[in-house]
Amino acid sequence: MSLFDNSERPIGLASDHAGYKAKQFIIKILEEKGIPYRDFGAFSEESSDYPDFAHPLARAIENGECYPGVAICGTGIGISIALNKHQGVRAALCWNSQVAAYARAHNDANVLALPGRLLNEEEIYEILVIFLNTPFEGGRHTGRVDKIPCR
């Protein structure tokens, strides 16, 4: 499996304390592959609140500073909810590679949300690779994605 190489912008990363170990695993992968990233925290396993890291990542995605994003909390639910409060973010909670493929191909998801407490490193790697390498199909899905912003 290859990993997405996006030399234009760094991949944005965010987690809370429950997703910290999974984020560190992803950082190791990105560094080994020479893929740039920007880490918005958390920076330890000390208890923290996922919105504190989700919102800066979301703003960086909206502003075009990072693309795509990867966000991790215990279940992936809370961090994806916080991310999706931003108009320019389509965060998809993915628990397997098939969901990750559909999130990219059909929904043009720009942030991968992962349940850090529920996946092992092999699963995280597989989901990450699929998410980063699956293009948006466009076509009939474009009109649907275009209807998401409510402003």
Q: Which residues are catalytic?
A: 106
> At what angle are helices 121-133 and 97-107 packed, to 10 degrees?
20
> Which residues are within 8 A (CB) of 150 and not within 5 positions of it... i.e. 6 or more apart?
87
Half-sphere CA count of 85, side-chain side, radius 13 A: 12
